[in-house]
Amino acid sequence: MGKIIDLSMTIDEGMQTFAAHWHPFVEITQLGRHGIENRETRKITLGTHTGTHIDAPRHFIPDGKTVEQISMEQCVGYALVLDFSHLPDFHEISREELESSVGSNSVERVIFRFDWDKHLGTNKYYSDHPFLSESACEFLVEKGCKLIALDTPQPDNPKNGRFSIKDAPNHKILLGSDILIVEYLINIKLIKSTITTLVVAPLKIASGDGAPVRCFAIEEDL
């Protein structure tokens, strides 16, 4: 086994969540206590899109697959790491930029590195992140992509919210083609290889539109 790189946020009270009523704040309440119940247990309140998580197609596609229907083979395997950390804030990645970066490599699974996790805890994290163009997403569909993973909150233009003319078009393109989206990654910069083994392990939530995940990369021993 090679080096394991944890790409997951720690779930904790006070952690940053998207400011909308459909994304709850995290609450962790201790119930069992040593010296009283003689064991520790906790109640956890969190959303299906809290912290590092996966978007199942059902998130935006009414009849799309839910979390427990996702194939685990889709979530585990070799992934191409694309380094876009040099891009300026709020940059839209064009189809041409993506094609050039991919080259002749497979896009079955793609990890997009922006080093955006350095902005966690700030408003900028949600307002100014780079994003994919619709044509770049269509390229991924055409090339048979199964999963993308990002260290940003989403693949969409952050200005395209629920009340905009276009509400999350990239989510709809990708999820509508059964391409899974893993968001809120951290530590991608620690991956040194262009190709790595990616493991995405979501909670198996019935009728889940998404789920928190433990996500990590396995770097091969040299």
**DSSP symbols for 34-97:** TTTTSS-EEEEE--TTSSSEEE-GGGT-TTPPPGGGS-HHHHEEEEEEEE-TTSPTTPEEPHHH
Average pLDDT score over residue span 135-162: 95
Give the model's pLDDT for residue 208: 98
- Rounded to an integer, what distance in angstroms lies between the CA atom of residue 201 and that of residue 73? 11
Query: CB under 8 Å to 153, separation ≥6 — which residues?
Result: 18, 125, 126, 129, 183, 184
Give the model's pLDDT for residue 163: 61
Whether 162 is covered by a domain: the verdict is yes
Cα distances (Å, whole numbers) of residue 24 to 1, 21, 176, 195: 37, 6, 25, 35
Whether 210 is covered by a domain: the verdict is yes
- Which of the four pLDDT bands, split at 50, 70 and 90, describes residue 59? very high
Whether 41 is covered by a domain: the verdict is no
In the chain, the number of structural domains is 1
- Which of the four pLDDT bands, split at 50, 70 and 90, describes residue 161? low
Whole-model pTM: value is 0.96
Give me the CATH number covering residue 146: 3.50.30.50
Q: Hey, which residues does 215 pair with through a beta bridge?
A: 200
Whether 186 is covered by a domain: the verdict is yes
Whether 79 is covered by a domain: the verdict is yes
Q: What is the mean pLDDT of the chain?
A: 96
Average pLDDT score over residue span 49-53: 98
Q: Which structural domain, as residue segments, surrounds residue 116? A: 3-7+48-219
Average pLDDT score over residue span 1-14: 95
Whether 23 is covered by a domain: the verdict is no
Give the model's pLDDT for residue 222: 59
Whether 181 is covered by a domain: the verdict is yes
pLDDT digits (tens, 9 = 90+) for 104-148: 999 999 999 999 999 999 999 999 999 999 999 999 999 999 999
- Rounded to an integer, what distance in angstroms lies between the CA atom of residue 186 and that of residue 131? 16
- Which of the four pLDDT bands, split at 50, 70 and 90, describes residue 91? very high
Whether 39 is covered by a domain: the verdict is no
Average pLDDT score over residue span 204-215: 98
Nearest to 212 by CA among 15, 44, 24, 8: 8
